[in-house]
Chain A
Amino acid sequence: MIEVQDLTKYYGSRLAVDGVSFQVDEGEIVGLLGPNGAGKTTLIRMLTCFMPATSGRATVNGFDVFSQSLQVRQSVGYMPESVPLYEDMRVEEYLRFRGEIKGLGGDALRRRMGDAIERCQLSDRRRQIIATLSKGYRQRVGLAESLLGDPKVLILDEPTIGLDPGQIREARRLIQHLGERHTVLLSSHILHEVEQVCSRIVMISGGKLVADGPLSELRTGIGGQGTTLLEAAGDDAEGLKRAIGGLHGVKSVSAEKAEGDYTAFRIESQGEADVRQAVGELAVRRGWRVRELHTQRPTLEEFFIRKTAEQNLRGRAN
């Protein structure tokens, strides 16, 4: 549905998007995640034909964003970041205008408007002037607008920015519904939100792609290693430490005195190896009393923050 190849954008001499490639398949809800200034909006604006790329290629729905811009725009529903609307128009009036410039008319237009208004729960605001709508309702008008053409692809730039928690939950539910009928690419700078609705994440930072994959894969694949903690009491801490170090999958062990006569072992394991059972059995066999045994894996949040920080450092070095 969306294919991005080596897309690059310079604003003057400033590099905003740097050779990004990824793909979105039909029916997916993909989250474009990145901190503020990462280049999400720039990337999206190239996909929606608002501005051309400096280099690279992108196709949406099989159409090239550069040479087949009109077809791309016909098949994409787009909600820009700031949700620009004509303030003086009434909701219904605005949607009618937008439907008309998408080439709808007559019965089809009426049907689509009714459908979009219903899906975005705007029925009681049809006649309201847009300038008097709350932020949450404006967002819904923007969303309803993007649905008018019944587009195959929906591109939403920070759809939940500026909403309160209740509205965010509602928007999330709405977007999940949209995923049933459309392929969705949405951007966000908040990991938590993307995690809730997206099946896959494309993470960019400093204009560069830093991660791309299904959520579950990212969660397990990111750190590459886990830390297992063992707290136990017994004799010969050195001996146990050496024995643990010899276990399959263990990279390194450190031991340190904990309160009471307990010793705390920190065991770094390789890859996805789960060493908990082996460590536990070993300790018990050696007559140790175990009071705690667990494994920590870096969360996606930590991964996100680390990647962001790395990119920042690199950015400063350049």
Chain B
Amino acid sequence: MSKIMAVMNRELRAYFYSPVGYIVIAVFLVLGGIFFGLMDFDANRPAEMRNVMFWLAGVLVFLIPVITMRLVSEEMSRGTIESLMTAPVTDAQVILGKFFSAVAFFLILLAPTLSYAVVLAVFAEPDWGPIAAGYLGLVLIGVLFLSIGLLASCCTRSQIVSAFVPFVFLGIMTFLCRFLTFHLDGLPRDLLRYVGFLTRYENFGKGVVSLNDVVFFLSLTVLALFLSVKILESRKWRGIRG
């Protein structure tokens, strides 16, 4: 456990060694603020954060790959993977440490958005149930995105590839799936509704927290983490030029 903490600690600091961490935070807050201002902070509408959360999820599709791209790829391209993997840590400890650091960074990213809720509370009587549910959904979808980004980062030493691939994948799973549900019917539509990330996430935005959706996000997250550990293990068999 303390080894996971050690890895997590180092990784979390690493976000702030380079400007990337600050840029991600800035972009997220600016976009979030814009959406909030445009859509939710409107005296003529009921006080809720449904729209802003919808758009924030969209922002995560391209921001999260930027958060996760360096996690393992950078170790491979710089050769530090060699000292990391020859230290007495297990592959699972490395993956979990890195994953938790990304989650912590993500929570730091989200924290300031609580101020939107505070603003709502000052000027109106928001309905807290849906807001809390929305946050839960946002955290769950974000954590899933992070685990998918981490998985991609384990597959390549190129940070560009490990940002681009999950970006495309998440874009398909989130927006394309949702788009297609409007144009299909029957079984394909039900299937896409079932696997589409956004469809699931929207339930939270409506204030509906179903165990089904929670389990969906969490189990996919665990699956991505499991695959990450397996890929890290298998890389040793192929050998990495350090």
The answer to whether A101 and B17 touch across the interface, beta carbons within 8 angstroms, is no
Q: Which of B4-12, B39-47, B105-113 is the contact stretch?
A: B4-12
Interface flag for B212 (CB, 8 Å)? no
The answer to whether B89 and A50 touch across the interface, beta carbons within 8 angstroms, is no
The answer to whether A101 and B88 touch across the interface, beta carbons within 8 angstroms, is yes
Interface flag for B158 (CB, 8 Å)? no
The answer to whether A70 and B82 touch across the interface, beta carbons within 8 angstroms, is no
Interface size class of B (residues with CB under 8 A): 20 to 34
The answer to whether B3 and A97 touch across the interface, beta carbons within 8 angstroms, is no
Interface size class of A (residues with CB under 8 A): 20 to 34
Residues of A within 8 A of B88 (CB): 70, 73-74, 101-103, 149
Interface flag for B156 (CB, 8 Å)? no
Interface centre among B10, B84, B90 (most CB of A within 10 A): B10
Interface residues of A in 113-152 (CB under 8 A from B): 145, 149
* Least CB distance, A84 to chain B, in whole angstroms: 4
Interface flag for A78 (CB, 8 Å)? yes
Which of B2, B83, B237 interacts with A80 by CB under 8 Å?
A: B83
The answer to whether A100 and B2 touch across the interface, beta carbons within 8 angstroms, is yes
Residues of A within 8 A of B78 (CB): 84, 87
Interface flag for B239 (CB, 8 Å)? yes
* Least CB distance, B68 to chain A, in whole angstroms: 18
Query: Given known contacts A86-B80, A101-B3, is B10 in contact with A50 (CB within 8 Å)?
Result: no
* Least CB distance, A93 to chain B, in whole angstroms: 8
The answer to whether A84 and B3 touch across the interface, beta carbons within 8 angstroms, is no
The answer to whether A88 and B17 touch across the interface, beta carbons within 8 angstroms, is yes
The answer to whether B3 and A88 touch across the interface, beta carbons within 8 angstroms, is no
Secondary structure type dominating chain B contacts: helix
The answer to whether A101 and B82 touch across the interface, beta carbons within 8 angstroms, is no
Which of A52, A82, A102 interacts with B242 by CB under 8 Å?
A: A82
Instruction: Mark B70-86 against chain A: 1 for CB-CB distance below 8 A, else 0.
Output: 00000000111111111
Interface residues of A in 10-57 (CB under 8 A from B): 11, 45, 48-52
* Least CB distance, A299 to chain B, in whole angstroms: 34
The answer to whether A78 and B83 touch across the interface, beta carbons within 8 angstroms, is yes
A81 to B79, CA, bound (A): 10
Interface flag for A98 (CB, 8 Å)? yes
* Least CB distance, A13 to chain B, in whole angstroms: 13
A48 to B81, CA, bound (A): 13
Which of A52, A82, A102, A145 interacts with B237 by CB under 8 Å?
A: A52
Q: Kindly report which residue of chain A lies nearest to residue B83, judged by CB atoms.
A: A84
Query: Given known contacts A84-B80, A105-B2, is B239 in contact with A78 (CB within 8 Å)?
Result: no
Interface flag for A168 (CB, 8 Å)? no
Interface flag for A85 (CB, 8 Å)? yes
The answer to whether A48 and B86 touch across the interface, beta carbons within 8 angstroms, is yes
**Chain A: residues with CB nearer than 8 A to chain B?**
11, 45, 48-52, 70, 73-74, 76, 78, 80-82, 84-89, 93, 97-98, 100-103, 105, 145, 149
Q: What are 23 A-B residue pairs whose CB atoms fall within 8 Å in the complex? A: A45-B239, A50-B236, A51-B236, A51-B237, A51-B239, A52-B237, A74-B88, A76-B86, A80-B79, A80-B82, A82-B79, A84-B78, A84-B83, A86-B14, A89-B17, A97-B9, A98-B83, A100-B5, A100-B6, A101-B84, A103-B2, A105-B2, A145-B83
Q: Give me the 10 closest cross-chain CB pairs, A-B, nearest first.
A: A100-B6, A88-B17, A84-B79, A74-B88, A73-B88, A84-B80, A48-B86, A80-B82, A97-B10, A101-B87
10 new A-B pairs (CB below 8 Å) besides A52-B236, A101-B87, A102-B88?
A45-B239, A48-B86, A52-B237, A78-B83, A78-B86, A88-B17, A89-B10, A98-B83, A100-B5, A100-B6
